[in-house]
């Protein structure tokens, strides 16, 4: 049995650490160079802070922290802006790749051995030439208990 993509068969790929992930293209509002963020006192560890995106306040999520991947020094961070309901979030990632078409039969179930943090937010995996691409479910990624300041 295979997992299913929600609403699209194309994903925007991004890298956090050495792992590649994909977000459904329809969930991504835009990709921008990393913006400076204002820290939020007492916010959860994965909340990097807030940023001003053309007059709109956006919650910035540190994807290293959210995915429990050790962060390495990087000078080329990117922000992937996604919308959840009427709220915008900027996912801080190491690199943004291409938009990749994912055929439904290539999306496989999550391995049983996958870490529980990743299993909660991923809807499936796709075998790519550079390894596995974990497809992220935006709604589960932005679960209120972990991402709201």
- List the structure tokens of 22: 């994909």
pTM for this prediction: 0.86
Question: Helix, strand or coil for residue 141?
Answer: helix
Q: How far is the C-alpha of 102 from the C-alpha of 30, rounded, in Å?
A: 20
Q: Over the range 52-89, which residues count as b (16 or more CB within 10 Å of their CB) and which as e?
A: ebeeeebbbbbbbbbbebeeeeeeebbbbbbebeeebb
- List the structure tokens of 8: 């699209």
Chain segment 117-141, per-residue pLDDT in tens: 888 889 888 988 878 899 999 999 9
Chain segment 38-90, per-residue pLDDT in tens: 999 988 889 999 999 999 999 999 999 999 988 877 778 999 999 888 889 99
Per the CB < 8 A criterion, the answer to whether 3 and 83 are in contact is: no
| Mean predicted confidence (pLDDT) in 16-22 | 93
pLDDT at residue 15 is higher than 70: yes
Structure confidence at residue 58 (pLDDT): 96
Residue 33 has, within 13 A of its CA and on its CB side, a CA count of 3
Q: How far is the C-alpha of 100 from the C-alpha of 98, rounded, in Å?
A: 6
Structure confidence at residue 8 (pLDDT): 44
pLDDT at residue 1 is higher than 50: no
| pLDDT tier, 146 (very low <50, low <70, confident <90, very high otherwise) | low
- List the structure tokens of 114: 């996958």
| Mean predicted confidence (pLDDT) in 28-40 | 94
């Amino acid at each position: 049995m295979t997992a299913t993509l929600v609403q699209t068969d194309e994903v925007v790929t991004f890298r956090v650490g050495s792992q590649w992930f994909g977000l459904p293209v329809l969930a991504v509002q835009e990709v921008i160079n990393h913006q400076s963020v204002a820290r939020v006192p007492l916010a959860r560890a994965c909340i990097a802070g807030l940023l001003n995106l053309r007059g709109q306040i956006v919650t910035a999520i540190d994807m290293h922290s959210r995915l429990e991947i050790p962060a390495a020094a990087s000078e080329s961070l990117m922000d992937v802006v996604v919308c959840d309901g009427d709220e915008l979030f900027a996912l801080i990632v190491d690199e943004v790749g291409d938009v990749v078409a994912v055929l439904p039969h290539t999306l496989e179930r999550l391995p049983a051995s996958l870490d529980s943090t990743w299993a909660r937010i991923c809807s499936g995996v796709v075998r790519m030439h550079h390894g596995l691409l974990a497809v992220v479910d935006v709604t589960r990624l932005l679960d209120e208990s972990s991402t709201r300041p």
